[in-house]
Amino acid sequence: MLSRLRPDICVIGGGSAGLSVAAAAAAFGVDVVLVERDLMGGDCLNTGCVPSKALLAAAKRAHTPIGAEAFGISLPPSGVDFAKVNDRVKSVIAAIAPHDSVDRFEGLGVKVLQAAARFTAPDCVTAGDYEIRARRFVVATGSSPAIPGILGLGSVPVLTNETLFELRELPWHLIVIGGGPIGLEMAQAHCRLGAKVTVVEAQRALGRDDPELAALVVDALRAEGIDILENTAVHSVEREDGNVAVTLKYGTGESERLVGSHILLATGRKPAVEGIGLEVAGIDHDAKGIKVGADLRTSNKRVYAIGDVTGGLQFTHAAGYQAGLLIRALLFRLPVRYQPETMPWVTYTSPELGHVGLSEDAARSRYGRKVRVLTADYAGNDRAQAEGLTCGRLKLVAGPGGRLLGADVVGAQAGELINLLSLAVSKKLTMKDLSGFVAPYPTLGELVRRAAISYYADLPGKPWLRRVLGLLRKFG
């Protein structure tokens, strides 16, 4: 016999999205059951954001001596102990893990079940020895690496983000399939740590980002020695003398064969919808994920879905934002509307690449000639010059009335600059607002104000304004 639980909310999935809902609901004294079949903290903590950024941090320090000579400093070459690098990555995960642990959440008042959850009816979920009938269910099962249909792929060992951080030895040649953010971040990290790296991308690298600014990132990575092959398809893979061989097909019809020690698949992610009984619960879904409305509700009115499992923008901060909206809906019965257009993202390469709001093309499609694009180069910023970080550009997309519709930044601390611009987009600020704030000198934040001021660059030459100034002078 299964023990019956009747909580107010049942959350399926202990990643960023599910944990945020469970913690917030429990803080208000709501009865919550959280079901997680794997590691608490989900992909972000264990195999995603945290370990990847920890590895990038190690790689950045390994790369520092290379740029020191430009400042008149000579440093001895530093060695890389890849096993110790891996140990530090694990230590960072371990330091954060208690915040997402079973003990912490049970201390908050959440009942945590470490088991696989499955809908057995539209209003019932089983997990381990329990049958759960809740007022509302939240599906937050996340996503997993998408495995492409490449000939021979099943016959060779490959890495994904779920296994990459288990390596104790540095690959001598890492072949990365996929030129998106994950692929390029890990390519640069391993290159800086001493590996030979080749990235193979079927289309344009960083294809979701502004082409002009993305090209600056690609150029910078190539300058560090990473071979980035765009518009190149992977035809097949096979074993070769303890290594892996990859046959490539170029757009010209020519082919090439690469031999490496490891293959990293960075070809996107798929929603985790299998095995949880969505059909039984009457929850519409497809290969892209669970279908939800702007209110995050599924076709089963008792069930909501948030995070990667819904497809769309698969970011930890997007999941957290959706969780906040859902708490308003579940606890306070307030209307909510998820607007992915306002969601920022950052690729943490060096230089970083950040985006928020509408792209230039999307803005012109919607507003036509009313759109103006304003730019400021890092080379014109005094702090960037002092730091030797002049490779970069900030771009603001202004719409009717000078309202900020979107922004892109490539360069040092682009992720930090996007914080300010994300606030500006969400609050519908204008170029007047952005040109009027005071930025401390010297900071990279001055780039925002400089670009915004350029919106008014043609004002001094306006005849009507000159006439007004002339009139005012007559009054003394």
pLDDT value at residue 367: 96
Q: Pick 462 or 437 by higher pLDDT.
A: 437
Q: Does the pLDDT value for residue 165 go beyond 90?
A: yes
Residue 20 marked in a binding site: no
Instruction: Categorize the per-residue pLDDT at 72 as very low, low, confident or very high, splitting at 50, 70 and 90.
Output: confident
pLDDT value at residue 332: 95
pLDDT value at residue 77: 66
Residue 152 marked in a binding site: no
Residue 181 marked in a binding site: yes
Q: Using CB atoms within 10 A of its CB, is residue 277 exposed (0-12), middle (13-18) or buried (19+)? A: middle
Q: Does the pLDDT value for residue 471 go beyond 90?
A: no
pLDDT value at residue 135: 97
pLDDT value at residue 71: 77
Mean pLDDT for the chain overall: 95
Give the mean pLDDT of 349-358.
Answer: 98
Q: Does the pLDDT value for residue 73 go beyond 90?
A: no
Give the mean pLDDT of 243-247.
Answer: 97
pLDDT value at residue 37: 96
Give the mean pLDDT of 185-191.
Answer: 98
CB of 322 closer than 8 Å to CB of 387 = no
pLDDT value at residue 308: 97
Give the mean pLDDT of 69-93.
Answer: 86
pLDDT value at residue 95: 97
Pairing, β 352-357 against β 404-411: antiparallel
Q: What percent of the chain has pLDDT over 90?
A: 90
pLDDT value at residue 426: 95
Domains defined for the chain, CATH in brackets = 3-145+270-341 (3.50.50.60), 153-267 (3.50.50.60), 351-456 (3.30.390.30)
Encode pLDDT of 295-318 as tens digits.
Answer: 999 999 999 999 999 998 999 999
Residue 436 marked in a binding site: no
Percent helix, strand, coil in the chain, to 5, is: 40, 25, 35
Give the mean pLDDT of 119-148.
Answer: 97
DSSP string, 364-420: HHHHGGG-EEEEEEGGG-HHHHHHT----EEEEEE-GGGBEEEEEEEETTHHHHHHH
**Helices 49-68 and 181-192, axial angle in degrees (round to 10):** 50
Q: Does the pLDDT value for residue 102 go beyond 70?
A: yes
Instruction: Categorize the per-residue pLDDT at 458 as very low, low, confident or very high, splitting at 50, 70 and 90.
Output: confident
pLDDT value at residue 413: 97
pLDDT value at residue 9: 98
Positive or negative torsion for Cα 382, 386, 391, 396: negative
Nearest CA among 75, 47, 76, 300 for reference residue 159: 47
Positive or negative torsion for Cα 268, 270, 271, 272: negative
Instruction: Categorize the per-residue pLDDT at 464 as very low, low, confident or very high, splitting at 50, 70 and 90.
Output: confident
pLDDT value at residue 111: 98
Residue 238 marked in a binding site: no
Give the mean pLDDT of 405-430.
Answer: 97
Q: Pick 11 or 312 by higher pLDDT.
A: 11
Residue 142 marked in a binding site: yes
d(CA 398, CA 5): 53
Q: What percent of the chain has pLDDT over 70?
A: 99
Residue 408 marked in a binding site: no
Give the mean pLDDT of 269-288.
Answer: 97
Residue 184 marked in a binding site: yes
Give the mean pLDDT of 181-189.
Answer: 98
Q: Pick 62 or 309 by higher pLDDT.
A: 309
Residue 267 marked in a binding site: no
Q: Does the pLDDT value for residue 409 go beyond 90?
A: yes
Q: What is the DSSP letter of 76?
A: P
Residue 312 marked in a binding site: no
Residue 107 marked in a binding site: no
Residue 387 marked in a binding site: no
Residue 428 marked in a binding site: no
Token pair 């002049």 is found at 390
